Chains A and B, each alone.
Chain A
Amino acid sequence: MADDHWRTLMMAAQAGDTPAYRRLLVEVGSWLQGYYSRRLPSGMVDDAAQEALMTLHAKRHTYDPSKPFGPWLAAIARYKWIDRLRAMRAAPTEELCEELAVRDCGEAVQSARSLEALLERLKPAQANAIRLVKIEGLSIKEAADNLGQTISLVKVNIHRGLRQLGEFAQEEDHEF
Chain B
Amino acid sequence: MSFDSLIDRLTDDLTPVRRRRPWVDMLTVAAIALAELALLFALGFAHISLHRMMTEPTLWWRLASLGLISLLSGALAIRSFDPAYSPKGGLRWLALIVVICLTFGLLMGGLPGGLASIAVRLDWTSGVECAYKMALLSVPPLIGLALLGRRGAPTDLRRTPLLIGLAAAAWGAFAFVFACPFTDPLYIAVWYSVGCGIVVVLARLILPRIARW
A residues contacting B by CB (< 8 A) are 13-16, 18, 21-22, 25-26, 29, 46, 49-50, 53-55, 57-65, 67, 71-72, 74-76, 78-79, 145, 148
Which interface residue of A53, A72, A75, A145 has the most chain B CB atoms within 10 A?
A: A75
Contact of B153 among A21, A53, A62, A67 (CB under 8 A): A62
Q: Which residues of B contact A71 (CB under 8 A)?
A: 84
Whether A50 contacts B153 by the Cβ 8 Å rule is no
- Chief secondary structure at chain B's binding surface: loop
- Chief secondary structure at chain A's binding surface: helix
Q: Which residues of A contact B82 (CB under 8 A)?
A: 62, 64, 72
Whether A15 contacts B16 by the Cβ 8 Å rule is yes
Segment of B1-9, B30-38, B125-133, B196-204 in the binding face: B1-9
B residues contacting A by CB (< 8 A) are 1, 3, 6-7, 10-11, 13-20, 81-84, 86, 88-89, 152-153, 155, 213
Question: Given A54-B6, A57-B10, A59-B213, do A14 and B83 touch, yes or no (CB 8 Å)?
Answer: no
Whether A55 contacts B20 by the Cβ 8 Å rule is no
Q: How far is the CA of A26 from the CA of B89 in the complex (A)?
A: 35
Closest Cβ neighbor of B81 among chain A residues = A62
Q: How far is the CA of A50 from the CA of B8 in the complex (A)?
A: 12
Whether A59 contacts B83 by the Cβ 8 Å rule is yes
Q: Which residues of A contact B155 (CB under 8 A)?
A: 75-76, 78-79
